[in-house]
Structures are given as structure tokens and as C-alpha cells.
Amino acid sequence: METTLIILKPDAVQRGIMGRIISRFEEKGLQVVGCKLMQISQQLAATHYEAHQSKPFYPGLIKFMTSSAVLVMAIRGNGAITIARNMMGATFGSKAAPGTIRGDFGVSNSFNLIHGSDSPEAAERELRLFFKPEEILNWKRDGDGWIYDQSGGKAE
């Protein structure tokens, strides 16, 4: 099982579609193991997006991410990073396929609703930025036996 960071960005929060997006992850079978509504500080945004610092869109990205509340989530599941990124769709809403979060809810190339970690290493780093260890819970869902085939001793 892996855990990934998901951020519902200011546009998702302001548009009131947080619940619809969270439902998609839960309906897919992924487990929310941490969640909080917060305002990202300039410093946290700069640290989180430091890899983009030299890119022309960086100042606008920082301004956008600190402009309003966001919902940060730790989501767990077998292959959670790849599954979440596939569910998110292409970066630009105008190019995202129907059926994806960005494809169904977005048209903007700037306001793209959601962030998800792109690798296990990024997930580990990003989760530490937004959550204290005790804020990510390990809890057993009784329905996991109906989500994953565990007959071989591990989730498939």
C-alpha cells in the first residue's frame, strides 16, 4: 500500500466541488487517511513548488496556491499514486479527457483544481510538508476485502 498527497486547490474549494472529488477517490477504493482544510503560507508554497522556481509560471502559481483555502489529503491504496494521477487527468483542463477530475470539472490551463504526488519519493517529501506523522492514520476498513483480492495474503 502506498500513501500519496492530494491537494484540492483554491479553485476546487471556492467552486464547492470538494465533496464530489473526494467521493471519486473513495468510490475508486482509495482510503482517506489524513485530511485538513488550510491556508497555505507563502513559505510552504515556495518549499512545495521549489522545483518550479525558475519557470515563468512560478510567481502566478504561488499567488494562486496562497489565495484561498485548500484541502490537503493523504490517500492510501494499492498503487495509489498512479491511480490518483490517472484519475486527475492531464495537467490542463482544456486537454484532460472526459471522465477525469480535470476533464469533467476544468477548462482552465492555470486553475487546474488538484495536485497529486508524482512518485513515491515526491509523496514522502510532500506528505511531510503538510502533515505531522500523527495526522496520517492507520485504520482498518472492513470493506477492504471487497476492494482488494487478498486471497494470496496481500492486496491485489
Q: How far apart are CA 48 and CA 10, in angstroms?
A: 16
Q: How many domains does the chain have?
A: 1
Contact 9, 115 (CB under 8 A): yes
pLDDT of residue 74: 98
Whether the Cβ atoms of residue 33 and residue 136 lie closer than 8 Å to each other: yes
49 is in which domain, residue-wise? 2-138
Q: Does residue 152 lie within any of the structural domains?
A: no
pLDDT value at residue 26: 97
**Residue 101 domain flag:** yes
45 located within any domain: yes
Categorise residue 109: left if φ over 0, alpha if ψ from -120 to 50, beta otherwise: alpha
* Set of cell numbers at residue 38: 488550510
Provide the residue-wise pLDDT of the chain in tens; the chain has 156 residues. 999 999 999 999 999 999 999 999 999 999 999 999 999 999 999 999 999 999 999 999 999 999 999 999 999 999 999 999 999 999 999 999 999 999 999 988 889 999 999 999 999 999 999 999 999 999 888 888 889 887 887 777
Q: Output Rg (C-alpha) for the chain, integer angstroms.
A: 16
Is residue 147, in this structure, part of any structural domain at all? no
- Does a structural domain hold residue 143? no
For residue 145, is it within any domain? no
Within a domain: 149: no
3-state secondary structure of 7: strand
List active site positions.
115
pTM: 0.93
Is residue 75 within 8 Å of residue 31, measured between CB atoms?
Answer: yes
Residues 13 and 22: their CA atoms lie apart, in Å, by 12
Determine the pLDDT at residue 153: 77
Report if residue 26 sits inside a domain.
yes
Looking up residue 61, the CATH number of its domain turns out to be 3.30.70.141
